[in-house]
Amino acid sequence: MPEASEQAPQAKTYNVELGGRTFSIETGKYAKQVSGSVWVRYGDTVVLATAQASPTPIQADFLPLTVEFEERHYAVGRIPGSFLRRETRPGERAILSARLTDRPIRPLFPKGFRHEVQVILTVLSADQENTPDILGPVAASAALSLSDIPWDGPIACVRVGRIDGLFVLNPTAQQLMSSSLDLLVAGSKDAIIMVEAGASEIDEDLLVQALEFAHKGMQPLIQLQERMRSELGRPKFSYSLPEKLSEEAFQQLADSALRSGLAKVLTTASKGERSEALEAFAEELVNAFVPPRPDGSVDEAKRKLYFAAFDDVVKQELRRLVLEDSRRADGRGPVEVRPIWIEVDVLPRAHGSAIFSRGETQVLGTVTLGTGRDEQIVDDLGLDSSDPFLVHYNFPPYSTGEVKRLRGSSRREIGHGNLAKRALKQVLPSNEDFPYTIRVVGDVLESNGSSSMATICAGCLALMDAGVPIKKPVAGVAMGLVKEGEKTVVLTDILGLEDALGDMDFKVAGTKDGVTALQMDIKIKGLSSETLRSALMQARDARLLILDKMASVLKAPRSIMKPQVPRIVTIKVPVEKIGAVIGPGGKNVRALEELGVEVDIQQDGTIRIFSANSEAAELARNRVLEVTQEAKVGDIYDATVTRVTTFGAFLSLFSGKEGLLHISQIAEGRVERVEDHLKVGDVLKVKINRIDDQGRIDLVRPELEGKLPPRRPQARR
The yes-or-no answer to whether 340-551 and 636-704 have a common fold is: no
| Percent above pLDDT 90 for the chain | 64
pLDDT tens digit string along 253-302?
A: 999 999 999 999 998 878 888 889 999 999 999 999 988 877 778 888 89
Read off φ and ψ for residue 308, nearest 5 degrees: -65, -40
20: left (phi over 0), alpha (psi -120 to 50) or beta: left
pLDDT tens digit string along 466-510?
A: 999 999 999 999 999 998 888 899 999 999 888 888 888 999 999
Whether residue 384 has pLDDT greater than 70: no
- pLDDT-derived band at 712, boundaries 50, 70, 90: low
Domain 567-628: CATH class, spelled out: alpha beta
Taking the CA atoms of 491, 496, 502 and 506 in sequence, report the sign of the dihedral they define. positive
Structure confidence at residue 375 (pLDDT) = 81
* Residue 595 exposed, middle or buried by CB count within 10 Å (0-12, 13-18, 19+): middle
| Residues 6 or more apart in contact with residue 173 via CB below 8 angstroms | 128, 129, 130, 131, 382, 383
pLDDT tens digit string along 399-411?
A: 988 899 888 889 9
The per-residue DSSP string of 372-437 comes to GGGSEEE-SSS-SEEESEEEEEE--GGGGT------S--HHHHHHHHHHHHHHHTTPPPTTTS--E
Bridge partner list, 386: 377
Looking at per-residue pLDDT, the higher value among 527 and 210 belongs to 210
Cα-to-chain-centroid distance, residue 502: 26
pLDDT tens digit string along 90-120?
A: 889 999 999 999 999 999 999 999 999 999 9
307: left (phi over 0), alpha (psi -120 to 50) or beta: alpha
| Percent above pLDDT 70 for the chain | 96
CB distance 647 to 662 below 8 Å: yes
- Confidence (pTM): 0.85
In CATH, what is the architecture of 12-232? Answer: 2-Layer Sandwich (3.30)
Write out the H or E segment, with its range, that includes residue 92: helix 92-105
Distance CA(207)–CA(215), nearest Å, equals: 12
Domain 340-551: CATH class, spelled out: alpha beta
The three-class DSSP label of residue 255 is: helix
Structure confidence at residue 132 (pLDDT) = 95
Domain coordinates of the chain in residue numbers? 12-232, 247-325, 340-551, 567-628, 636-704
- pLDDT-derived band at 68, boundaries 50, 70, 90: very high
Cα-to-chain-centroid distance, residue 460: 14
Spell out a b/e string for 247-286, using b for 16 or more CB atoms within 10 Å of the CB, else e.
Answer: eeebeebbeebeeeebeebbbbeebeebeebbeebbeebb
CB distance 326 to 489 below 8 Å: yes
**Among 494, 526, 489, 524, which Cα is nearest to 507's?**
494
Write out the H or E segment, with its range, that includes residue 657: strand 657-662
Inter-axis angle of helices 135-146 and 219-232, nearest 10: 20
User: Is domain 636-704 given the CATH code 3.90.78.10 in the classification?
Assistant: no
Distance CA(153)–CA(224), nearest Å, equals: 12
Distance CA(32)–CA(54), nearest Å, equals: 17
Question: CA distances (Å), 442 to each of 263, 344, 413, 489, 528, in order?
Answer: 35, 14, 10, 31, 33
The three-class DSSP label of residue 11 is: coil
CB distance 155 to 222 below 8 Å: yes
Distance CA(717)–CA(707), nearest Å, equals: 26
